[in-house]
Amino acid sequence: MQKSVAFVLALLGTAMAIPMQDVYNFHYPDQSGVLEDPKVLLPDTMNLTLPPSFELFEGNHHLGGDMAGHSGATVDIGIIIITLALTFNVHVPTLDAHVISVNGPGGYTDFTPFTSIPSGNFTTTGADAIIRIRNLRLRGNAQLFINIIGNKVNVRTLNVIEFSFDEFCLDMGNMPIGGNIVDWADFCANFKARFTAQWLNSTLRTQFVERLRVTANGFVDDYTLEELIDLITPKPEPTTAPPLH
């Protein structure tokens, strides 16, 4: 009973903190500015933490590169506040990226039970990274939950209606994953067929989507609902230059 009362109070507190609006919609790219495409990537350090599926350790770096096609991608996200229901629709018509000399401590990838995606620890070796995507579509919905501890967001259920692509090609040179050198030419030539076969297996798909749900929680559980909405809501571009100090 005490937990139920605490949950109701937390939900009311969240609702009072968020401006009164039934549905929040986010669309990328918005109309506030023009994206630079192609875009030059400047040398930088990089890290990404998305457990349990992927982690690029702090200390990895690259010497620059370029990216093209990203301005044609669209991301639509909707959140119904009263039911905490979320919908998403992602479309990437084309994306080409080339990153020069990726080097550092590496990280790990783990998308089990799918074997079509290489899994294991890896160390970046200074080789270039090449990514090519054609007609990627990701569409589905999720049920959110507000954790009464810290008032943070949690993805309770995830339903992926569509996950398809015409081409997904990745080449990381001689970087070993799980102790094995990946044949990237074979990966690019056969990944679509191998991934699709596993996606059509209902048991494997259920386990894979559950891994995606846990991975998503590793990101969203850092935010309250108000913070998450603020994060995904398009911000207008400034109309005047900021004052000089």
d(CA 179, CA 50): 21
Task: Give percent above pLDDT 70 in the chain.
Answer: 83
Sign of CA dihedral 63, 69, 72, 76: negative
Mean residue pLDDT across the chain: 85
The residue that leads in pLDDT, 94 or 234, is 94
For the ranges 20-24, 53-57, 238-242, the one whose mean pLDDT is highest:
53-57
pTM of the full predicted structure? 0.82
Give all strands (DSSP E) within the chain, no chain letters.
Answer: 23-28, 39-41, 44-50, 54-62, 65-68, 74-80, 85-99, 107-109, 120-122, 129-147, 152-164, 167-171, 176-177, 180-181
Confidence band, pLDDT 50/70/90 cuts, at residue 138: very high
d(CA 158, CA 201): 17
Among the listed ranges 119-128, 190-199, 203-212, which one has the minimum average pLDDT value? 119-128
How confident is the model at residue 65, as a pLDDT? 95
How confident is the model at residue 147, as a pLDDT? 85
